[in-house]
Structure 1
Amino acid sequence: MITAPLPLDEDARLRALRQLDILDTGPEEAFDRIARLAAFAFGVPVVLISLVDEKRQWFKSHHGIAACETPRSVSFCAHAVLSKRMLVVENALDDKRFADNPLVTGAPHIRFYAGSPLRLAEGQVVGTLCLIDTAPRTFSDTQAAMLAEFAQLVERELETRRQLLRSRSEHERDRRSLAISEARFRTVFELTPIGKAVVDLDGRFLDVNRKFTEIVGYDEAALRQRTFASVTHPADVAGDVALAAELLAGRQATYTMEKRYLRPDGTPVWVSLAVSLVRDVTGAPLHFIAAVQDISSRRKSEEALRNYHVELEERVRERTAELRRSHDAMQTITDNLPALIAVVDTDLRYQFNNATFRRVFAADPERLRGRGLRETLGAETFESLRPFFARALAGERVTCENVRYASDPERVWCATYIPAKREGKVTGFYVMSHDVTEQRRTEQRLRESALLDPLTGLANRRALQETLGTLRAGSKQYALFFIDMDGFKAINDRYGHDTGDALLREVARRLAATVRANDMVCRLGGDEFVVASRGVDDARTAERIAAAICQAVSRPLSMGGRLIEMSASVGVVLTGLRGAAGVSAASLAAQAEGRALADDPLGLADAAMYEAKRAGRNTWRVAPRAHMLAAMDA
């Protein structure tokens, strides 16, 4: 036996079946009549109107058998529902899908089956009208067409049932909606803080809420005896009546106006009135609905406000003239300053620019106002300065000392961004940008010529002299490392001076990378280097630094496909807070001549370096006097 799989639209099909509200209902003559007529027309003992539920097939009409349902798993009709076409089985014993089906091997001993799908208007197949016989039989095309017509009769009954259920549901929904709508209207009408009134076409009050009676001063009973015109200020009646006529003529759907009611004591009360016309289903007018708000206090406030506005406008004119004079003065002053001056808002748009912008950016300062900084500065410059803008908008005064504008990238500017505040809140920032190109060039030239070694970029002899003089004056502990390359002359002779220069530059780079960031690395000249290391007060630390220098310098250098072996000898001297000699000008002069002063730290370091060379090179030695000075300081 083969059980029919579930159709692809099974969920939608089951929803449609259950929406019929037909499962497990009692017999109905309309369906039973179709089953009897089909049994007579086809001469079969059993006719079923079968509805296929989730796990069963249930029979709305079951002519010829007593059972009301069977499991879906053994159902022939489930196969017809799956294919959505008429299913004809002339001999169930010859069909492998049903040969061992319990409905074939047992009661009711089905041999012949013909089932026509029952299809709803949306296309879902919910069951079949089926013919069953206990003996095999043939089924012609004419009989199939007739069975389909009988099935259409069942479908019509199902559709009639569905439409009836839908009508009942819609009627009940409309009834509930109407009840809810009426309850809501009454609630809104009675409890709203706005005066409400229902007025007939003759202007008489039909219904009013409590708020309306409070506004006009009449109780509900008195108002039902009056018209709206009788409680309206005479000067406002004509306008109200004219607008009501516009509603009746269909030229407006609603109207609003401000008018005055007269209370019983003759006191006028200003109100805001909104009126709508209610019509029946044919469009005939029924009555007016009026909504009223007391605006007496507002009218008094408006009068006071008008007087205040007159005074305020005069003040604004005076303040505007004052600001214009101030703005003109600021524009004149800033236009004559050799700097970029601007005001920027929180959206990073210019609010003010001086005349210097015309020269630098070739842009009219007036036209820059309201434009974004990105548009003027260019995307690259804008992105590089964005963090400074953010800090200024966060309330911090910041300076960027190396700004290059795309309009003239060769110039260097120093820009300061100052937060602009109003009542403690940042409203933007001021920009002051000065051209410092020449200043930077001068500083660079001076620095390079005075303190830097032109080959390696390290500090030169003069810079060392100034630094050591500062250390001596400050009585600071420090160590000196005198470094001399081993066999440098042979390298120069073998590979040439260009290679020698490149090697010196590499040694300078390695020394700078090896020692601490605040240590000074200096090239005295030739292949001699000095490192001044602050805060070194014991020989163990000094030896560790010297070892690191030797290790860094001794790494082979690959140049032009050649591997150049190199090393250095290092002499070390420690100075202390007491008794330590400074580096004198005489010592530096002696070093320039290739001599060393024995009582000078630099001379001692030089002497220790020669001891390292005599010890086999690529090593270090600590000057004995440096040990003595360190011991005295301890």
Structure 2
Amino acid sequence: MQPVHEWHAAPLPAEEAKRLRLLRRLDLLDTPQEEVFDRATRVVAELLQVPIALISLVDENRQWFKSRVGLDVCETARDVSFCAHAVHSERLLLVEDTHADARFAGNPLVTGAPHVRFYAGVPLRSSHGPVLGTLCAIDTRPRTLSASAQAALCDLAATVEREIVQREAARETRQMQEVDRRKLRLSETRFHTIFEQTPTGKAIVALDGRFVEVNPKLCEITGYSADELVSMTFQQITEKADLPTDLRHVAELLDGTRKTYTLEKRYRRRDGEPVWIELSVALIRDDRNRPLHFVSVMHDITSRKHSEQVLRDYRQELERRVLERTCELTSSRATLQTITDNLPVLIAHVDAGLRYRFNNQVYREVFGVEPSALRGTHVREVIGLATFERCLPYFRRVLAGERVSHEDIVYEGAPSRIWNATYIPEFQRDEVVGFYIMSQDITETKHRENQMRSEVMLDALTGLPNRRALAEQLALCIDAARDDAVPFALFFMDLDGFKSVNDQHGHDAGDALLRQVAARLKKTTRAGDLVCRLAGDEFVLLARGISSSSACSRIAQDICRAIGRPFALGEAEALLGTSVGIAMCAGGYDTSAEAILGDADRAMYEAKRKGRNGFRFASVMADAAPAVNNYLEAHRHEAVSH
């Protein structure tokens, strides 16, 4: 037979880029010899009685020998490598005579040193699938290999492969631990910044009421230094009259009756002066649900309480004066009519049967009825049935002799205006024979209050609803899902690549980029959905009426596509992605705002671990989540690109 001088280099595997990434991530290339691998090649050489045994790792342009017996060189070119062919094998590449195989007959390793005539190589696979290299036996003479010898070689390869897989797992575990540590450090930094720099008092409080950590704003509110406060309890600085209510709420937190509470109370400052605060408290528990400590947030509302007191004093003084003048002028109805007609207040006198005995001219302005025509008319016929039903409990109380006030009244005759009414009983011989009504128009005051509340519920940078607004709406959605079986889905989004843009272009550019992201999210989502900014580059979408994972997938894909388009930063462009975690809540599913946010947050981090600019479903979906996430894993390229 004439010698064949042709040979063929092995083609590249289908997942070559992935295979090379996994190989380099393993950190085995160009490392010193290790006994655990050398033991395997020695056994192969002795077991099969071959002069050469190798553990070969196939790199981009070479094959490198992690362990070798009978060969002086540590690597050869990939295009002449037998192992590059073995990479394509499922179990074993066996060449009993290279001179008889067109792929190898002209190979330089056959025609020259080490004069390979026999080759048997078992692929070594990564835990992720691709083949990284081989365990191979080489002889300088042709030979056959029995089935038992082939099985023994495969068993030895499995031992080497297990060592490689264990190292992969250990390295990935270390990487995940480092990621978790970085996230923890970032979380601690964010918490410290929020804790120290926000314009509200904040404190971490031990279960016995002792201040553990306080921020500068709380020191400013109370007048105590941080060192002084951490040696005290909240009971010591709380006004005694307000303490029982506070302690009752604390007990309800500890026994699980409630998860948070908010109340208005007074602290006694260091200089002895009282200060009104709005206190919000949450109980933090460990992973075994044992109480750890309280987190308290305090707003100084002294100015507001002062304004409310001034307004109450004004109303009481006005009511007192009107009542005094009404009593003084009872004998002169004409004079009474003249005075009350010129007061910007609805004034009426009602008998015990709830029929009008007197009305001032403001009734004509509001209800379009001549006051004199109302005498003897039942109150229900004037203010409307719905309003009458709401007011009736107050009417009963005043007819029982109690002076009462009723806020937020909307009369059917004036639906755009809001009123505050005071009912004052009329006594004759210690018996209530009727009552006086004084209603003030508080529409503008309510509008200002609502505007102030809206401002508190918005993120100052993006104009989106903030965390407080999300908490309020999420609680309503959870109640609706539990009681009315109305499903919803929560999408937790974290921008990919935002930090590098922020570092490269500056915080002003970062802020402008966040505003653009907010605009795209609002444009991408439905009109009735709630898009919120939590903090930094974290956003949340609350979508009502979503009941299927396919609908959630479409929404998440739309979000990824929208954020994946370039953003304009002056003359430059910025490219971002977004990792989305999805938690669904269907009818009858009992959860909490904290739990579903946590589920969506963990799913978002899973999306980041799986490649970023994609989405994952949370385990809260129970049986559906594994199937959906397995599908996404199998179609990751499609899910991200779409």
TM (norm. structure 1) is 0.48
Question: TM-score, normalising length from structure 2?
Answer: 0.47
Higher Rg: 1
